[in-house]
Structure 1
Amino acid sequence: MTDAPPLSTEAAAWPAQLYAALKSAGVRHASYVPDAGHAELIRRFQQDPEAIEVMLSTEEEGVALACGAWLGGMRSVVLMQSSGVGNCINMLSLPAQARMPLLMLVTMRGEWGEFNPWQVPMSRAVQPTLEAMGMTVLRVEAAQDVAPTVAQAAAMAYGADQRIAVLLGQKLLGAKTW
């Protein structure tokens, strides 16, 4: 893999703004399958003594953990890559049927500048699949829109017991090279 070009100041700032938006919304628990697109956000959760972060072996575990965190009085976010959405389909029935809030942040692959053709089919299926499971899907393509979109997604999820997924577009994250 080759090194990515340096990020602009704005592109480098959005992960910190995203973390601040989650903290402001009272999110203290994060579960994730390791992902380069979420690396800075994961690092911030790991370094926060007031936060709990859990590495998953598969994405659907994060849905169950988010529901359990909610039952225990804690707000949670599930971090995953678009290819992991397919692993969650059956588990998404739990928060839907129990009317529990769910906040997911999904880094997209298979879009702008994708080098791996295996990522493309799932990227096309992410939004319609999540919507078919009753989730509201919001999409972010620009760095300046990340924090306000996630703040509103958290307000929708935790203020009205909704299931919300925020898709972070591949153009925002940058194309991976091989």
Structure 2
Amino acid sequence: MDEHWSVAAHRHLKAAGVRQIGYVPDGGLRLLIERCLGDNEIETVMCATEEEAVGLSAGAWLGGQKSAVFMQSSGVGNTINAIASLISSANFPFFAIVTMRGQWGEGNPWQVPMGQAVVPTLEAVGVKTFLAESPDAVDMMIESGLRMAYSTDTPVAVLVGQKVIGSKIWTAGKAVNQ
């Protein structure tokens, strides 16, 4: 695949009619966030917390728009109460793209615990998770995840694996891309 996975992700978001994005800045999502920020048809909102992005998503649905949430795996724990109480209880559709840390090649010991807890934590509150370990898999999973979320009112998270976004080496308290 010659293009960065973010090109296909943006194309699928547009095709699905997503009009709002709530995100917390993340290096693995940088190119996708930039594409959405440059798209006049998508309202892209930087949030202070991942939980705020979940609230934005629910509000978008109540206002008649589809949305998506972008976050790193370390922020998933911040969303659990909002997903369990707001999204699951109200039966709202929900779609998230989560870049993973704490997997293959991780060099930061602080990222490992939450990276390992993402799938069981999300599944415990009713979110279907799909782990994409290659750019082609990201493409297919985002397309089908959006369809599932918005056709069946199911919370879905596509997890973009560390093999796709790259691992980081942690030296002297500083992360360096490998």
TM-score band w.r.t. shorter chain = over 0.9
Tell me which of 70, 75, 83 is aligned to 2:74: 83
Equivalent runs, 1:57-68 vs 2, <5 Å: 57-68=48-59
Measured in 2, the distance between the counterparts of 1:11 and 1:98 equals 41
The number of residues matched between the two structures is 169
Shift of 1:44: 0.7
Indicate the RMSD between aligned Cα atoms, in angstroms: 1.0
Alignment partner, residue 171 of structure 1: 163
More strand by share: 2
**TM-score (normalizing by structure 1):** 0.92
Shift of 1:13: 2.5
Tell me which of 129, 132, 148 is aligned to 1:140: 132
Alignment partner, residue 91 of structure 2: 99
Contact 1:106 1:166 in 2 (8 A): yes
Measured in 1, the distance between the counterparts of 2:109 and 2:4 equals 30
Measured in 2, the distance between the counterparts of 1:122 and 1:91 equals 18
Equivalent runs, 1:152-167 vs 2, <5 Å: 152-167=144-159
Stretches of structure 1 lacking an aligned partner (at least 5 in a row): 1-9
With a CA cutoff of 8 Å and minimum separation of 6, indicate the structure with the bigger relative contact order.
1
Shift of 1:147: 1.6
Letter in 2 for 1:72: G
Shift of 1:34: 0.3
SS at match of 1:117: coil
SS at match of 1:50: coil
Identity of aligned residues (%): 49
